[in-house]
Amino acid sequence: MDWGTIINNTLAGLLTPTTIAFALAALGLAMHFGFAGLLNFGIAGFMAIGAYGYAISVLTFGLPWWLGMIIGVLGSIAFAVLLGVPTLRLRGDYLAIVTIAAAEIARLLFLTTAFTDVTGSADGLFGYNSAGGFSSANPFPPGSYGFGPWTYNSETLWVLTFGLGVLALCIWLLWALMRSPWGRVIKGIREDEDAVRALGKNVFAYKMQALIIGGVFGGLGGIVYAAFANVSPGVYVTSITFFIWTALLLGGAATIFGPVIGSVIFWVLQAFLSNILPELAINGILPVDGTQAATLRFVLVGIGLMLLVIYRPQGIFGDKREMTFVK
């Protein structure tokens, strides 16, 4: 067993564009579910719309990268409004079903061969980072940066810097909102929206604002991921939504840093398992073949999610009293 490589790859999972994208999406879910009590099972759809919005703006309309990204964000806002208007008046579990269905609709629309010219169909989109100038906006000269497991080339470093900047901004935004009277209303709505309504607050407007803000975080997650990897419809499946939920609940749904730390833990564990399981299989310690070993880690995600929700619903960092599942 090559422990050196395993540990190295595991530690590398601490800071990758994927981890940052996950953290952003989980932060969005924290806004939705942890603070406002909105059951959004369609965060993958928000990410897809952010990513495709950016890539299509650049590739099809020839816009510069920053404008493309803004359009990606606007796209996720539009998606939030589209979802919110009909469903925010309905019972919570209806929102869950509508969001998951809407995310699937979005994915199928990106996947269909009917719009291949624009969406690239099953192959997705690529080349927009250089076409839109994101790559050339890189302030770091080519070379190797960092040390040990955290050694990056200048492209990855640029994406990481950009992603961390976006993440820091979103964390600040969420923190600033939730300490304010606005955050008080949002938490009140999570507890009992009729009570808040009876106090003269426009609950629908607040829920819509929360849906939009969380949706923008999700869209930014998609954009950061797109800045690193190609945009492919195979990424934005419902499983990704559920993985992000796992990361969120791992850290604590109603916390600011919980979603970020949950994402980091999720990806470090994933990196560890995806390295150690095949090794164990090859060395005959686990009686499975390599492919099965790779599948096993997703089985563990599922089991982990169940155990978490049953035994520690407030997450690792959540206030034990502030469990968000009382309803």
**Restricting to residues 45-64, which ones interact with other proteins according to CB under 8 A?**
none
Yes or no: say if 22 and 269 are a contact pair by the CB < 8 Å rule.
Answer: no
Distance CA 240, CA 44 (A): 6
Q: Does 207 bind other proteins (CB under 8 A)?
A: no
Distance CA 36, CA 45 (A): 19
Site for other proteins, residues 211 to 270, rule: CB under 8 A: 230, 232, 234, 238-239, 242, 245-246, 249
Distance CA 320, CA 314 (A): 6
Nearest distance, CB of residue 317 and other proteins, angstroms: 16
Nearest distance, CB of residue 76 and other proteins, angstroms: 17
Distance CA 289, CA 182 (A): 53
Q: Does 184 bind other proteins (CB under 8 A)?
A: yes
Nearest distance, CB of residue 157 and other proteins, angstroms: 22
The one among 14, 67, 131, 309 contacting other proteins by CB under 8 A = 309
Q: Which stretch binds other proteins (CB under 8 A): 17-25, 134-142, 147-155, 180-188?
A: 180-188
Place of tokens 């959540």: 318
Q: Does 209 bind other proteins (CB under 8 A)?
A: yes
Binding residues for other proteins, total number by CB under 8 A: 87
Rounded alpha-carbon distances, angstroms, from residue 40 to 45, 97, 238: 10, 9, 11
Nearest distance, CB of residue 200 and other proteins, angstroms: 4
Yes or no: say if 111 and 218 are a contact pair by the CB < 8 Å rule.
Answer: no
Q: Does 287 bind other proteins (CB under 8 A)?
A: no
Going by the DSSP 8-state scheme, the letter that residue 125 receives in this structure is B
Q: Give whichever of 42 and 132 is closer to other proteins, judged by the CB atom.
A: 42
Q: Does 291 bind other proteins (CB under 8 A)?
A: yes
Distance CA 257, CA 259 (A): 6
Yes or no: say if 101 and 87 are a contact pair by the CB < 8 Å rule.
Answer: no
The one among 6, 70, 78, 101 contacting other proteins by CB under 8 A = 101
Distance CA 155, CA 14 (A): 18
Q: Does 118 bind other proteins (CB under 8 A)?
A: no
- HEC string of 9-27 equals HHHHCCCCHHHHHHHHHHH
Q: Does 277 bind other proteins (CB under 8 A)?
A: no
Yes or no: say if 245 and 305 are a contact pair by the CB < 8 Å rule.
Answer: yes
Distance CA 110, CA 108 (A): 5
In a 13 Å sphere around the CA of 55, the CA atoms on its Cβ side amount to 28
Site for other proteins, residues 29 to 48, rule: CB under 8 A: 39
Q: Give whichever of 107 and 219 is closer to other proteins, judged by the CB atom.
A: 107
Q: Which stretch binds other proteins (CB under 8 A): 11-19, 92-100, 132-140, 142-150?
A: 92-100
Q: Does 282 bind other proteins (CB under 8 A)?
A: no
Which x/- pattern, by CB under 8 A, does the window 124-163 give for other proteins? x---------------------------------------
Which residues, in sequence order, are bridge partners of residue 150? 147
The one among 70, 109, 286, 316 contacting other proteins by CB under 8 A = 109
Q: Does 286 bind other proteins (CB under 8 A)?
A: no
